[in-house]
Amino acid sequence: MAILTVDMRHGRTDDQKREFAAAILDAVSEATGEPREQVFLIINENRGINFIEFGQHLPEYVDHASR
């Protein structure tokens, strides 16, 4: 069992989360041989300002184009 946590800004649509999760489950399953159903993922969300990267607080996530 692989348990992954990803820290991301609020704002992705449910569809974007589904697409994101599917890509990770496939990738981890293929790389480790674990069945997809044995790959757990937690998407941990916070506001943009809660992420400080390269010395900068991130802006809130804006979905520029629907997927």
Applying CB under 8 A, the site for a copy of itself has a residue count of 45
Asked whether position 66 contacts a copy of itself by CB under 8 A, the answer is no
Rounded distance, CA 17 to CA 4, Å? Answer: 14
Question: What own/partner pairs with CB < 8 Å and gap ≥ 24 does 19-27 have?
Answer: 19/67
Rounded distance, CA 30 to CA 41, Å? Answer: 15
Report the nearest approach of a copy of itself to the CB of residue 42 (Å). Answer: 5
Asked whether position 62 contacts a copy of itself by CB under 8 A, the answer is no
The residue ranges that bind a copy of itself (CB under 8 A) are 1-8, 14, 16-28, 30-32, 36-37, 39-47, 49-55, 57-58
